[in-house]
Amino acid sequence: MDLKINREMLPVTEILLDEVQEQSVELDYVLPDYDPDIFRIIGCEIQPTIVNSTTGTDRITYELRADIRVLYCGSESTLLQCVAQQMTFTRNVELPRPAEDLQVQIRPRTTYANCRAVSPRRLEVRGAVSVSIRAAGDRKQEVIEDVFGMHVQLRKVPVEYAAQKRRATKHILLNEDVELGQSKPPIRSIVRSSVRLNHEEQSILAGKLVAKGEATVQFLYTWQQEDGSNGLEQMQFTVPYSQIVDMEQIDDTYRGSVDTQVVRCDLKPCTGKNGSMDSLQCELELCLRCTAIKTASIQLVTDAFSTLYPCEQETVSLQIDMAPVPVHAVMPCSASLQPTDTVPECIYDLHCHVRNINMQLLSDTNRIRISGMLCCNLLAGDADGMPMMLEKEEAFEVYTDSETPVDNAVLQAEVLPTDCTYHLASDGKITIQASLLLRGYLRPSARHTCLSGLTVDGENKLVRDGDYALKLYYGVEHENVWDIAKRCRTSVGAIMEENDLTDEQLTAAGMLFIPIVQ
């Protein structure tokens, strides 16, 4: 009987690029005539955002926007002034080789931000942004699925893999008109704003993916009354969204995932019904990166031999991806600081972010270890109402359990501090409590060494050490029946049937009857 081999083409994901690019941010700014002179700089921050990205056959091009904010006070005034500027940069990164179904993840973070007053009318900002770029692509690998003829025995392992992948990207604009309410003073200028995404969910219809969620916008603004009194006020509101993203050929057999990123949040104070700046127009742009995956199963041939003929095999090591699993966990974190110079009288605003994040998958306990630095910025006021910025960095290490096995998995997630609160003691000590939100996807994969080629020499039969139909073999505990069958040139089924075995691994040492099959 001739040898017949059934082959299958499997999609295999390979990491093409994993690097970090540095972008310097330098700004020389001269104050306009209507702004007061600089007397005291309170703080400076740079918020980076990836506005857009395109992928070609040999390169990735992305647009980085840096939002710069400098807070200062003028001479003999406690009114906080805000200088807001934007800078954009276009960067390229070369791909080592082309790939199918390229998956690109670009994450920016601020490395540092410094500011100084060159003169009462001129500011100088120096900073840097690190951009992490990770690109993975698919290639097709031919593997053996089944073999017939020439007394070949096969060892197979069932594998579930991502057989079909569909991707789509959609930018959406959300507009919201917000009224401050009678309890809030009118807006003079907006000092800081942030957006938090939560309650995200998705579902799949025929040819469409439905993404739902809400964005919580928080902002801090200054106010000033006619008598010259001034201060700072906080406010937040929620903007829900529900979007239908067209994705051809998907149905309820696919699993969907959405990576939502904030592109920009423009807040514009406007005149309300009372003739004062007590209303706000919000324009929020989000980028939805949608993925739909359909899984399939295959029996991979990992080993083979013939009971009658010598054979040679070619093997290949494959990292096979499975469907991504959502990861969502909340872990507590804390920090404390004791001001050494001026004791704050009040806290206007607390803003937290994280840096130097390291996420480690612990396969022995099936947990995720997250470590890094919690960076706390508190905008406070002294007894005279003069604003001041208090900063503290606290190292943290937290753990969360994973419902999915983390062996050979890749975690693509971000860590965001949420629900940040503070307690100001009478001695000026400040205690900060925050919740670290782990949000993203765990992408399980498995590495298999399987057969890509098999050659059987049908011209020369194997020579046995004797003419017998049954032999005795002493098996040791935990020995695999496949290894015994391959050593004795017989079949796994025959050994298990002859010895009434129910498991392909021996549970105890003992004598076995080995039937010889042709």
DSSP letter for 297, please: E
H helices of 363-515, in order, are 481-488, 492-498
pLDDT digits (tens, 9 = 90+) for 105-156: 899 999 999 999 999 999 999 999 999 999 988 888 888 889 998 989 999 9
Map out the domains of the chain with their CATH numbers.
14-136 (no CATH), 160-299 (no CATH), 325-442 (no CATH), 464-518 (3.10.350)
Do the beta carbons of residue 456 and residue 363 sit within 8 Å? no
Task: Return the closest-CA partner of residue 346 out of 434, 426, 229, 230.
Answer: 426
CA 198 – CA 218 distance, rounded (Å): 13
DSSP 16: E
pLDDT category at 183 given cuts 50, 70, 90 is confident
The overall longest dimension of the chain from CA atoms, in Å, is 112
**In terms of Cα–Cα distance, which of 146, 235, 160, 155 is closest to 190?**
235
Q: What is the pLDDT of residue 467?
A: 67
Q: How far is CA 440 from CA 113, 262, 478, in A?
A: 28, 15, 39
Look at residue 154 in the predicted model and tell me its pLDDT: 92
The answer on pLDDT for 169 being more than 70 is yes
Lookup result for tokens 């600081």: 337
Contact 110, 29 (CB under 8 A): no
Distance, CA of 339 to CA of 309 (rounded, Å): 82
Angstrom distance (rounded) from CA 160 to CA 300? 10
Question: What proportion of the chain, given as a percentage, has pLDDT over 90?
Answer: 46
What confidence tier does 518 reach under pLDDT thresholds 50, 70, 90? low
Provide the whole-model pTM: 0.83
Task: List the one residue out of 499, 452, 454 whose CA is nearest residue 475.
Answer: 499
Strand partners, 371: 358, 397
Which of 173-177, 300-304, 445-449 has the weakest average pLDDT?
Answer: 445-449
Rg (CA), the chain: 32
